[in-house]
Structure 1
Amino acid sequence: MKWIVGLGNPGPNYEKTRHNIGFMALDALAARHGIAIKQSKCKAVIGEGNISGTKIALIKPMTYMNLSGESVRAFMDYYKVSLEDLIVVYDDLDTEIGRNRLRYQGSAGGHNGIKSIIQHTGTQVFNRIRMGISRPQPGYPIVDYVLAPFPRKEAELLQQSIDEAGDAIEFALTHTFEQTMAKFNK
C-alpha cells in the first residue's frame, strides 16, 4: 500500500489557509478518483482506494500540524506500512506560490509538522512534496501568514500547485520517487 499524508489543521477555521495546502491537495486527488476521506482512525481521517492499480491510503492527521507525527506513527504501526511507500504533502515558505518541490530526505527546515514526523519515525528519509506558499512581506508574522487564507489573486497559482501535486502523486505510484522528482522538479 502507498500512503499519502497531507498536512494541515482540522476544523473550518483553518480550511482555506496556507498551512492547509496539504489537505487541499489530498481533497483534490480524492475527488479526482472518487475516494471519500472520512474514516476516522489513527488520529486521522483516511480514505482508501485504488489509483493506477495501486492500493492507496489518503491520510489527513487530525492532531493539528505540530503533532502530525503522532498520526503518521499510529498509521505505520496499525497498517505495518513502510516509510518507502510514504509521500508527505505540505506547505513550504521557501518555495513560491504555484511551484512544488519534491525531495526524498532532509531536515524539517523549520516546519513543525515535518519536525513531528521526523521525531515519531526516527528518520529524515521519506518522500515529500513541498507546496509553495511564498514568504510574507518582511515584518509580517509567520504564524499569522500561514494561518491566513489564500488571497483571491493567488487562486490560479494555488490551483496549478494542487493539480501538479496530484499529477506527481499519481506518477509516483507507478515510478520511483527519483523518476518523479526528475519529472516534476522544475
Structure 2
Amino acid sequence: MKAIIGLGNPGREYERTRHNVGFMVLDRLAQNWEINNYSSKFQGAFAEKFVGTEKVILLKPQTYMNLSGQAVASLASFYKLEPQDLLVVYDDLDLAVGRIRIRARGSSGGHNGIKSIIGHLGSEFFPRLKMGIGRPPVGRSAASYVLEPFAKDEEEGLDAMTEQACEAIELWLLKGTTEAMNRFNAKS
C-alpha cells in the first residue's frame, strides 16, 4: 500500500494559490484515475484506488499547511505505513514554475508543512515531490507570496508541471523513487 499526500490549505480563498499546488496535483491525479469524490478521513480529504494490484491512498490534509503532520501521522498509524510508503507533494520556492524535483528524503528546507510531517512521523526518510512556484519579487515576503494565485503568464507552466507530476507519481508507484528521480529530475 502507498499513500500520496498533497499539501495545501482548505477553503475557497486558497484554491489556486501557490501553497496549494499539492492539492492541485492530487485533484489532477484523481481526475486522471476517474476518482469522483473524496471522503472525510484522517483530518483530510481521502480517496483510494487500486493501481494494478497496489492500493493507493490520496490524502489532502485539511488541518492547514502548518499542521499537515497531524493528518499524515494519523493515516500512517492507521494503515501501518512506513515513511518510505508515503509520497508528499508540495510547493518549493527554490524551483521555477514548471519544474519538479523528486527526493527520497531530506530536511524541511524551511517548509512548515514538511517540518510538521517530520515532527509527527519522527523521520525525514519519506519521498517527496517538490513543485516549483518560484521566488517572490524583491520586497515581497515569502509568507504572502505563497498565498497568492499564480500569475496568468504562469498558468501554462503550471498546467504542464501538474501533468508531469502525475506522470512522476505513476512512475514512483510502479518503479520506485530512484527511477522517478532519474527520469524526472533530469527532465524538469
Is the structural similarity TM-score above 0.5? Answer: yes
In the other structure, the counterpart of 2:178 is 178
RMSD of Structure 2 on Structure 1 (CA):
0.9
What secondary structure sits across from 1:56 in the alignment? strand
Q: 1:53: how far off?
A: 3.7
In the other structure, the counterpart of 1:162 is 162
In the other structure, the counterpart of 2:72 is 72
Amino acid at match of 1:176: G
Q: What is the 5 A alignment of 1:1-186?
A: 1-186=1-186
Amino acid at match of 1:97: V
Range with greater deviation from structure 2 (70-79 or 32-41): 32-41
Tell me the TM-score normalised to structure 1 length.
0.97
Unpaired runs of 5+ residues, structure 1, are none
What secondary structure sits across from 1:94 in the alignment? coil
User: Is contact 2:83–2:123 with CA below 8 Å preserved after alignment?
Assistant: no
Q: 1:37: how far off?
A: 4.2
The Cα offsets for residues 146-167 of structure 1, whole Å up to 9 and x where unpaired, read as 0000111101100111001100
Corresponding residue pairs, total: 186
User: Is contact 1:36–1:48 with CA below 8 Å preserved after alignment?
Assistant: no
Aligned CA distance change for structure 1 residues 37 and 46 (closer, same or farther; 3 Å):
farther
The Cα offsets for residues 120-140 of structure 1, whole Å up to 9 and x where unpaired, read as 001111000000000011111
Unpaired runs of 5+ residues, structure 2, are none
* CA distance in 2: counterparts of 1:81 and 1:145, whole angstroms: 34
User: Is contact 1:36–1:47 with CA below 8 Å preserved after alignment?
Assistant: no
* CA distance in 2: counterparts of 1:179 and 1:26, whole angstroms: 21
User: Is contact 1:47–1:59 with CA below 8 Å preserved after alignment?
Assistant: yes
* CA distance in 1: counterparts of 2:53 and 2:23, whole angstroms: 23
* CA distance in 2: counterparts of 1:104 and 1:37, whole angstroms: 29
Q: 1:4: how far off?
A: 0.1
The Cα offsets for residues 22-78 of structure 1, whole Å up to 9 and x where unpaired, read as 000000000001113421111011010122442100000000000000000010111
